[in-house]
Amino acid sequence: MGQKKAGIAAAVCMMSISLILGACKSGVPADNAPKTAETGQGELKLVFWHYYNDAQKQYLDQLIKEYNETEGAKKHVVVEASSQGSIGDLTNKIDLTLNGSTNDVEMANMSLAYRDMIVGVVNKHGERLVDAGDYLSEDELSWYNQAYLEEGYIGGKLYILPLVKSTELLLMNQTRLDKFLKANPQYSIDGMSDWESLEQMAQGYFEWTDSATPDVDGDGSPFIGLDNLANYFIAMNHAMGSDIYHYDQDGAFVADLNEDYIRQLFLNYYIPFTKGYYGASGKYRSDDIKQSVLAGYVGSSSSVLYFPDEVADRDGNMVPVEIGVYKYPVLAGSRETAIQQGAGVVVFNRSQEENRASMDFIRWLTVDRGFELASSMSYMPVDHEPMTQDQEKLIESPKVLKGIEVGLEQSSTYQMVYGFDFENSYDVRNDLNDCFSSSLKEGRAEFLGYLDQGMSMEEAAKAMEYDKKAEAFYEQVEAIFGQ
């Protein structure tokens, strides 16, 4: 991989932690040794670092308070949770502690983490993290969704326990969709299940909205958009059978790019985008929904919480809408596949007593209170069981309930894959996303230019020379992956 400058966004900090941990000396400084809780002698205090804020932090605090007053009290354990503000702030805190540049902070026992955040430290200093398999039985581990659990294994050891998860779903302005389907009975909701049918429906929607202004030709509206182009690249590559990369026997990164697959998935989205059937306007696709630029988008299942209850009509008036939630579209001839996202928890190797107590708390938080924690944040719980009626009653928001229901169903039947986990992977994701996004914007502008010249849609499509565009995109992807 070529050397790239680290970005300032949150996820890049995940990758730098491996350097932080790898640089520190073995053992924990005496000043950072665990202290007994002030609430009583003999109580063991465990520190849990995270980056949740606002409502998410409040609900986590409530659960931890419950633990301290029940299970923790029985075991003489007190958990203290501390939000670091952001992933970047969290990483800086760990840096200060492990590098011994301050004595004013105390090392945590547990911390939120992503896979790419700890791969480097595992490869160099695996003893600094706890293997959950040393503390949890097979029966206890069998409770977790195995796809989520698998993400935490590195080199045969389980370093990350899943906490809450999300996936990507197709979220629609159902009110708008129903109106379209009623006016165009040749289409149906069944067309939402695969990319090929979705493109045909998007073309129909474009033509239908175009016909609403007969005095202006070619001003139809795009049907859907992607919130995360890199996730589409990752999921659809895996769907077709590509792992994208692997590590050799020395642990070095090796790209496994499949040119045919990459060209196919590029054109699958690029062609309808340039024609105006798919689209993107605002910073987030949920913004495009609110302004009625789009009728739907593919995005995180947790974003159902922010799906607008009302959108702007053509006159700028806000009108109420319902949300429709559908599974991630399938690519023809490929396996049903979607991305899985969400931080897990790592335990820093301290004393046996602290490690055991930390694992007991994580088990309680994910198993005993996992559904309450996840649903309060609009995430999916990490077990492998379907929702019960009693659990459904705990969810007050109909939008969140729909998101969790469809997300859980998808997670039980789809191949669930996770993102890149190599050093500098955040930079690669950003570069890939930017490259794809730029190609789409430039392609749409080029297509509109041909229409302005008086070409028909068919003539403009021919002038686009899509195969050459796919070839150029693949060459850019090769450069991004350092080939």
Tell me whether residue 118 is in a domain: yes
Regarding whether 72 and 28 lie in a shared domain, the answer is yes
Higher pLDDT, residue 5 or 356: 356
Regarding whether 262 and 184 lie in a shared domain, the answer is yes
Q: Give the neighbor-by-neighbor strand order of the sheet with 161-162.
A: 77-83, 44-50, 110-113, 344-347, 161-162
Tell me whether residue 404 is in a domain: no
Q: How far apart are CA 32 and CA 39, in angstroms?
A: 19
For 243-270, give the DSSP string. Answer: -EEEE-TTS-EEEE--HHHHHHHHHHHH
Regarding whether 443 and 363 lie in a shared domain, the answer is no
CATH code at position 93:
3.40.190.10
Regarding whether 232 and 87 lie in a shared domain, the answer is no
pLDDT digits (tens, 9 = 90+) for 149-205: 999 999 899 999 999 999 999 999 999 999 999 999 999 999 999 999 999 999 999
* Domains in the chain, number: 2
Tell me whether residue 321 is in a domain: yes
User: With 50 as the cut, is the pLDDT of residue 354 above it?
Assistant: yes
Lowest mean pLDDT across 95-109, 408-422, 453-467: 95-109
Regarding whether 296 and 269 lie in a shared domain, the answer is yes
Tell me whether residue 59 is in a domain: yes
Give the pLDDT of residue 432.
97
Regarding whether 158 and 189 lie in a shared domain, the answer is no
Give the pLDDT of residue 260.
98
Phi, psi of 422 (to 5 degrees): -100, 160
DSSP secondary structure letter of residue 368: I
User: With 70 as the cut, is the pLDDT of residue 38 above it?
Assistant: no
Regarding whether 177 and 140 lie in a shared domain, the answer is no
Buried-state track 106-137, b at ≥16 Cβ within 10 A, e below 16: bbbbbbbbbbbbbbbbbeebbebbbbbeebbe
Regarding whether 65 and 149 lie in a shared domain, the answer is yes
Amino acid present at 13? C
pLDDT digits (tens, 9 = 90+) for 216-236: 777 899 999 999 999 999 999
Regarding whether 348 and 442 lie in a shared domain, the answer is no
Cβ-contact 361, 46 below 8 angstroms: yes
pLDDT digits (tens, 9 = 90+) for 110-136: 999 888 777 777 777 788 889 999 999
Give residue 44's domain range: 10-165+342-385
Regarding whether 231 and 148 lie in a shared domain, the answer is no
Tell me whether residue 394 is in a domain: no
Tell me whether residue 2 is in a domain: no
Tell me whether residue 435 is in a domain: yes
Regarding whether 348 and 334 lie in a shared domain, the answer is no
Tell me whether residue 224 is in a domain: yes
Regarding whether 381 and 320 lie in a shared domain, the answer is no
